[in-house]
Each structure stands twice: as structure tokens, then as C-alpha cells.
A and B are shown apart, each in its own frame.
Chain A
Amino acid sequence: MAIGMAEPTLTWNLARDVEELLRYRFMVHAFEAGTIVAVMAAIVGWYMVLRRQSFAGHTIAVMSFPGTAGAALAGLPSAVGYYLACGIAALAIGRARHAGTTAGRAGVGRSGESAAIGVVQVAGLALGFLFLSLYSGVLEQLESLLFGTFLGIDSAQVLTLLIVAIVVLAALAVVGRPLLLVSLDTEVARARGVPVRALDVGFLLLLGLAVAATTQITGALLVFALLVAPPAAAQVLTARPGRSLALSVALALLITWLALSISYFSPYPLGFFLTTLAIGVYVLAQLVGCASARAARERRPSATVARPPSTPSPLPFA
């Protein structure tokens, strides 16, 4: 959003620009918050993309709207509404995903799950609208709720973000490997006694937490910029989990810092730069991925002679 003070100008002196960028407290806070959110979103999003749960992630993000509206109606701080609504949505989606799962039989499947998630989303939106019509004070914040802002983040909010991020990342560090196994091969995981359902629901709750936190910077509708694009780009570029996680974080940080910086010097809103950089990174990754795949195909000699079978490629996390 355009800042209501003297427009800062971009100079050719990089050091001077960075100094200008960090002159005001709110920008320092914005960068701190942005960094924390980028790291968390990149890691949680990495799993989300792997598990093809982007729709769930988006729906949970949208729940921040009824959350805030409901909190305002009840006189609670809006952060409470955020986390509560995202948590409830996570549980509802987790329940729907496993509904009808009996031993050995698949659950509702892709079509059933997507319908359930869609229903959760509109139920939340309709409720939000109800709250809105009962207490229209939310209207003013609606725009920043949906599209994000980085003005006026205070140190208390940065601290909250930090705590949430530490909780989420610590939890992921603990369950990371079993979660990866479950995400890649559910049947094998089940056979090894990994609690699939608990991990599924647990992950959705972590996703809810991460989303509720990210939404404060990017807004409910633009959450994807950080949650989907960097991990998706990283996964296209490399198949090794450790590398693609690191790459995902690196790309998310790059996007966030660039977007914050550009947006500071320009009158145009943060959300636009965030999403544009995100899609740029994603498209670039796809192009690089396609090019390298084509090069690899051309390098391989045509197969006319029978050779003994090579050893199968190991599971990525072994």
C-alpha cells in the first residue's frame, strides 16, 4: 500500500537504499515478520504441495475472514478469531478426509474430499457474512484482511509470529520423516505402524497455524504466494528432499525481501509484487526443469542392446 509520508526514492547507491529501507521501525518489523513467515511458509508449504493439499491450505486461509468477523462480534481480539477459525477448519477438513475410511478401504477419494473442502469454505464465508451483517465494524479491515499489509506490525506481533513459527517448525522437525513417508506412500506407512490418521490431522492443524500467521502479512487471498510457489518451484528443480526444502526456503526469502523492498519504494501494493515474483519464480523453475529434462533425454543413448537391470533408485529419505 502507498505510504502516507514523503515518498522514499530509489537511488543507485545500494547501501544507501538499504539504509533508507530500514530507517523506520515499521519496516524493520516488516522485514522481521516477513522473514519468519517466509521460512515457516516455505517449509510447511513444502509438505502441503507434496501432499497435494493446496485447496485445503487455501480454504483454511479464507477462514480467517469469519474468524476475524466472529471475533469482532464477540469482542475478542482478532488474532484469537484467526487461530480458532483456521483450527476448526483444519479439523473439519481432516475429519472429512478420513470419513468413511474403514480398515483397508480407501476413504472419500479426491472428488469427495474436494467437495467437502469446498463446502467448508463456503460455510465459513457465509458465516462470515452473517457476522459482518451483524457487526459491520469489520468492513474497514476487510481489504487488508483479504489482501494483506505490512504497515503497523508492532514488535508484539513479531514476537507472536516467532513463537508460532518455532512451535510449527519444532513440530515438523519431530514428525518430519514419518510425515514424509505417509505423504509418499500411505500404504507402506500404515504397514509400518505409522499413525497415518493422526499425522494427517496433525499436519492440517500445523497448516492452520502457519496459515493464520502468514495471513497477517500477505492477506487471506494471497497466502499462496509464499505457501505454494517457492516449494513447488523447488520440487520441480530437484527431487532430493533436503535440497528442495532448503531451496524452498531460499526462494521464499528471496521473494519476500524483494517484494518488501520494491513495495517500499513504489506506490503500489505489496500483494501485487509478492504474487508476481512468486509466479515468476515458479514459471522460471518450470522452464529450467523442462530444459534440463529435455537435455537429459537427448544425452541418453538409444536402447538397442539388452543390459542387465540397474539397481532401483533408493527412496528419497533412506
Chain B
Amino acid sequence: MAAQPDKGMSAAISEPPGLGGRAGAVAIELRDARASMGGHVVWSGVDLLVREGEFVAVLGPNGSGKSTLLKAVLGLMHTPRSAVTVLGGPPGAANRRIGYLPQRHAYDSTLRVRGVDLVRLGLDGSSWGIPLPVGPRAAARRQAKRRVEEVIELVGADAYADRPLSELSGGEQQRILIAQALVRRPRILMLDEPLDSLDLPNQAAVTALVQRICRTENVAVLLVAHDVNPLLAYLDQVIYLAGGRALQGPVEEVITSAKLSELYGAPIDVLRTRDGRLVVVGQPEAPHVHGHRHG
């Protein structure tokens, strides 16, 4: 078992055994955490630890609370005090150092704003006034411009960053959004189902990009997904949420028939196909939630 690391942003700690050789300060820690929504407990008794430079997938059936986990890290959920620690402090305090891509991010597909402008807004969009090319702080503005160009290059979007978002494909828009999430050099990057509407080649490309960023920028990455298979080759660990509880560990330790059956409280089979893909059989679906009738 891993020794309990110190809380807080200390320098790289010696790696606990069995964690893929990735050293890094603790970014997110949950101890016996619980989250509820509308009086109903989504998950409880959750212990998690994510370090900088780790690429972690968050998996589980619909309604198991994957998005809720991300919101808890952002401080948007009511969690018990000191149960959740983010970058050494309470959740919500460090949001400036977290890059976040919400789920099914619906753009007005005809909005004529350029990708590069969107990324720039991620940097200074909350400051009042407008950026002027001259005047005091002009140097800071030039630096901001350089940073935007840098991060666009990092995600490989320089070819189309000057075009309006409405002209970009789904995969291209995702890269721009990732660039926006990264522009302030976050320590944590959280993506909620970013691969949902992408075709397979784009899924692979975006996942590879995220892993590259995770390594080179030493960012802790939480990626919520439905299917672990596109991510298998890139992951360090998974967090599996089901039955109101959570399991964390390497893929081969967590996604097993024994572990998942215990988690769900129902018989689950994990099958491995010849080409190495994992299939989970026997999952009960989460209860169907009736949305508001009037669209």
C-alpha cells in the first residue's frame, strides 16, 4: 500500500510503488467524500488521489456521478469540509489553476467568433475594458498574445485558429476548447466527455494530444468517458464510479470482473477481446430520469 503523502503543494514526492513511475505533487485528494444532489446521495465514502502529470479516466454508467466528481473538485457541490482538497486548499479556491471543459458544450453553431479570440478570452476574458494595442500594459498585452499563440500551437490548431468556430469540425473545435482550458497554465485539466461527438480517428487524436499535454506540462488530467477503450493505451489510472462508490487504480486492477461485481453489487463480467479491448457485461443501467416535459 502506498504511504500516505503530505497534503499540499510540496515538491515532487517519491513515487508510491506500482504507479507507473510518475512522480508529482498531489493535485486532487478526496477522503471519505460524499456528494448529494436534490436530497439524493450520488456517491459516498470516496477516497481518491490524483497527482500532477497523471492521466486518469473517470468511468461509470449514466447517473453514477462522474460529472458530479468534476463539479466537486470545482467547489460547485456541497461536500463535507476537508473531505476534498484541491491543490492544497478547499475546492473552489484554486479554480484559476484548473482548466475545465464542460459536457456536451453546445455552441450556437453559427457564432462567428474566431478560435484565437476564444482562447484569448480564456486568458483575460474576466477583466474589464478592452485590450488596446498601445498605452501602459502594452507589454503585458503582447505577452498575452504570445501565450495564446503558444498554446494554440501546443494543441496543433494553428492552421485553423483564425477561422470562425462555426467553420470548424467537431474535433477542431475540441482542440480550440482545450487550448482555452490550457491558456492559463493550469495544474489540473478536467474534460467532461470530450470524445462523445467525435469519430474514432478524432477520438484517438484528441486523447493522444491530452496525454502529450499531461506529460509535457505536468498537468493532472481527469477525463470523463463512457468507454475506456479509446483511452486504454494512454491512461495511467482509472476512477470507476458505480453503485454510489468509487474505485481507483490502474486499468488492469480496477476493470476486472471481481472488482466491478463488488462495486455494483451485482454479477459483472469483464471480457477482453482478441485485440485487447475491454467489454463490460451485465451493467444495470442507471434509473431513467424524466426530463422536463416542455422543451
Given A110-B108, A111-B111, answer yes or no on A235-B166 (Cβ-Cβ < 8 Å). no
Given A239-B293, A289-B294, answer yes or no on A112-B287 (Cβ-Cβ < 8 Å). no
The answer on a CB contact under 8 Å between A112 and B110 is yes
The answer on a CB contact under 8 Å between A306 and B287 is yes
Binary per-residue interface labels of chain B (27-46) against chain A in the complex, 1 for a CB within 8 Å, 0 otherwise: 00000000000111100000
B274 at the interface (CB under 8 A from A): no
CB-CB nearest in chain B for A300: B290
CB-CB nearest in chain B for A308: B285
B252 to chain A, nearest CB (A): 26
B241 to chain A, nearest CB (A): 13
Rounded to whole angstroms, the CA-CA distance of A112 and B112 in the bound complex is: 10
Rounded to whole angstroms, the CA-CA distance of A309 and B285 in the bound complex is: 6
Contacts of A303 in B (CB 8 A): 40, 63, 286-287, 289
Contacts of B289 in A (CB 8 A): 303
A106 at the interface (CB under 8 A from B): yes
Rounded to whole angstroms, the CA-CA distance of A289 and B284 in the bound complex is: 34
A198 at the interface (CB under 8 A from B): no
The answer on a CB contact under 8 Å between A306 and B166 is no
Contacts of A293 in B (CB 8 A): 292-293
B240 to chain A, nearest CB (A): 15
B4 at the interface (CB under 8 A from A): no
Q: Which listed residue, B39, B40, B286, B292, touches A306 by the CB 8 Å rule?
A: B286
B62 to chain A, nearest CB (A): 9
CB-CB nearest in chain A for B293: A239
Instruction: State the main secondary structure of chain A at its contact with B.
Output: loop
B183 to chain A, nearest CB (A): 25
The answer on a CB contact under 8 Å between B288 and A310 is yes
The answer on a CB contact under 8 Å between A307 and B166 is no
A13 at the interface (CB under 8 A from B): no
Binary per-residue interface labels of chain B (108-149) against chain A in the complex, 1 for a CB within 8 Å, 0 otherwise: 111110000000000000000000000000000000000000
A79 at the interface (CB under 8 A from B): no
Q: Which listed residue, A107, A236, A306, touches B285 by the CB 8 Å rule?
A: A306
A302 at the interface (CB under 8 A from B): yes
Contacts of B38 in A (CB 8 A): 302
Rounded to whole angstroms, the CA-CA distance of A112 and B145 in the bound complex is: 29
Rounded to whole angstroms, the CA-CA distance of A310 and B287 in the bound complex is: 8
A248 to chain B, nearest CB (A): 14
Q: Which listed residue, A106, A239, A306, A310, touches B109 by the CB 8 Å rule?
A: A106
Contacts of B39 in A (CB 8 A): 302
The answer on a CB contact under 8 Å between A309 and B288 is yes
The answer on a CB contact under 8 Å between B284 and A107 is no
A305 at the interface (CB under 8 A from B): yes
Within 8 A of B (CB), among A234-257: 235-236, 239
The answer on a CB contact under 8 Å between B294 and A236 is yes
Contacts of A236 in B (CB 8 A): 294
CB-CB nearest in chain B for A239: B293
B256 to chain A, nearest CB (A): 20
Rounded to whole angstroms, the CA-CA distance of A307 and B41 in the bound complex is: 17
CB-CB nearest in chain B for A302: B40
Rounded to whole angstroms, the CA-CA distance of A304 and B284 in the bound complex is: 12
Binary per-residue interface labels of chain A (276-318) against chain B in the complex, 1 for a CB within 8 Å, 0 otherwise: 0000000000000100010000001011111111100000000
Q: Which listed residue, A106, A305, A308, touches B166 by the CB 8 Å rule?
A: A106
Contacts of A109 in B (CB 8 A): 108-111, 166
Within 8 A of A (CB), among B257-295: 266, 284-290, 292-295
B287 to chain A, nearest CB (A): 4
Contacts of B108 in A (CB 8 A): 109-111
- Spell out A's residues near B (CB within 8 Å): 106-112, 235-236, 239, 289, 293, 300, 302-310
- Spell out B's residues near A (CB within 8 Å): 38-41, 61, 63, 108-112, 166, 244, 266, 284-290, 292-295
Contacts A289-B294, A304-B244 aside, 7 further interface pairs with beta carbons under 8 A come to A109-B109, A109-B110, A110-B108, A239-B293, A306-B61, A306-B285, A306-B286
Q: Give the top 5 A-B pairs by smallest Cβ distance, nearest first.
A: A109-B110, A306-B284, A303-B287, A302-B40, A310-B288
A sample of 9 inter-chain contacts (CB < 8 A) reads A106-B110, A108-B110, A109-B166, A235-B294, A239-B293, A289-B294, A293-B292, A293-B293, A306-B286
